[in-house]
Every structure is written in C-alpha cells, then in structure tokens.
A and B are shown apart, each in its own frame.
Chain A
C-alpha cells in the first residue's frame, strides 16, 4: 500500500487545494496519482465561524487558505439504541477533545492541524482531528521547508514497488 495513503501528508495550502478529487462516493483524493487521505497544514487563522454543531475556520499559509472543520456534535452521533457505557464514554471523550481543540482556534493564532481530507459543497477541506498552537514562529518556516523537501524527495516520486514485484 502506498504510504501516502496512511500518513498525514504535509502540504502547503496551494498544494492541498490542488488535490485531485475522484467522482466516486465517497470521494478519494490524489496528488500526482498518489493517494492522500490525511493531511497536515500549518497557518494563521484568518476567519472563524462557530456554530452549535461545528467550528469552521480558515488557515492562511501565504499560498492559499485551507478550510478546516471541527465537528462538535459527537453527542448526536451515538446510535439511539446503543446502551454501551464504553461507547458513551468514548463519545464523551471525543466531544471533550473536540471542544478543547475548538477552543484553541483564535483569529491570528498560528496553528498546526491534522485531519482527514474531505469535500464539502465541492470545496476541499480538512476535517480536523488534532490542533496544536505553535508558539515558536520558526515552526511555520520549518513546516514550509518540510513540505518542500517531502514534495521533492517523496511525494513527487513514483510510489514504492509492491512486495509482489520483488517475488518475480
């Protein structure tokens, strides 16, 4: 399996917004034919829209603005007939974690986010799982350099040969 499918691919906004979207349901995403399902982005919060069920915000890294969403409706997602205490506890943890992450999203803050690549109304976005506030301003520059190096040395290359190829 191509490793880009299972890692959080570090992308500049312009690169992220250029991902190809398949017409399948659910859609899949590729970057130069390599699959991408999760992404990591770093940028400054330039807009924030808080609703009861979700928080939407934009991360600006200078090359584009990445739309991000944090879902806050975990309490509504539990199956009605579920009586599992473990499920309820897990959902509570997810909800608490999501609220904590949402609390970090403030205008002008430099954030690092990780999450799944999704599409909403035809627009690529990151459904955020983790948010880190980056206090060190050099961390953003380091992320840019990582994106450049990974693009050149990994993402732009053909995927690694599969195990079957070695058996021939």
Chain B
C-alpha cells in the first residue's frame, strides 16, 4: 500500500465544480455529497444533486453499495473532465449518509478550510 500515492478527497460542494473553480482539474481527488436523483445499472452512472447543482458519478468500481433514489450519498474519487467541461467523478469509495445535516456539513467545510489555510501558513514546508 503506497500511502503517498493516494490523495485525499478534498471536500467540495457540487456548485464549486465549475470551470473557474480551483478544484476543476483533471484527476483532482474530491469528496462530494448529494441526494441521489437517478442511477443507471446499465452504465453505472449515478446523478446526485445538492444546492441546485448536479454531478455525475461513475460507480463502476464500487462494491457492496445499494442505491436508493432520494437518499444522500457521499463519494470519494477523481474528476474526469469530458467534452464541453462536463464533469464525472470516477469514484473509489462511496457510502450512504442519510441523516447528515447538509447545512452543518457545508458550514463546517468553510471552517475547516480556514484552519487548513492557517496550518499551511504556519508551516515552513507545507505538505498538502
């Protein structure tokens, strides 16, 4: 297990995955959360929605997960930027997170980013 080869899935809101965002990069590892709008067993593509934005998730690598429309799911994977800036997340792990307080979740992400930014500034040689 080469731990340094596996990048952490940066917490992003679905609305942030647009071309002007710093997270909008081919291969960027992200963690996304949203309500399941649709799932195709044929293509293994799930579509999740949150905050007025939607995102396609390629779930072909996932095992032991069942999909229920309107449940909330969280996925960690890499961004694949297709034609016309259409984004798909090729997910490595996923889980049902029904019961999560999405408002608190998004507010906490903002607080975390401030802490992580402060950590970066306080270190002479940042590692993340």
Contact = CB atoms under 8 A, between A and B. Distances in A.
Q: Is the interface of B mostly helix, strand, loop or mixed?
A: mixed
B93 A107 contact: yes
B111 A63 contact: no
A45 B93 contact: yes
Counting chain B residues whose Cβ lies within 8 A of the other chain, the interface size class is 35 or more
B99 A136 contact: yes
Contacts of A57: 1
25 contacts: A18-B127, A45-B93, A46-B6, A46-B76, A49-B1, A58-B6, A60-B9, A62-B8, A62-B31, A63-B112, A65-B3, A67-B3, A108-B93, A108-B94, A108-B95, A123-B4, A136-B99, A137-B97, A138-B99, A138-B101, A141-B100, A141-B101, A144-B112, A147-B115, A151-B115
Interface of B: 1, 3-4, 6-11, 31, 62-65, 74, 76, 92-95, 97-101, 104-105, 108, 111-112, 115-116, 119, 122-123, 127-128
Interface of A: 12-15, 17-18, 32, 44-49, 56-58, 60-65, 67, 107-110, 123, 136-138, 141, 144-145, 147-148, 151
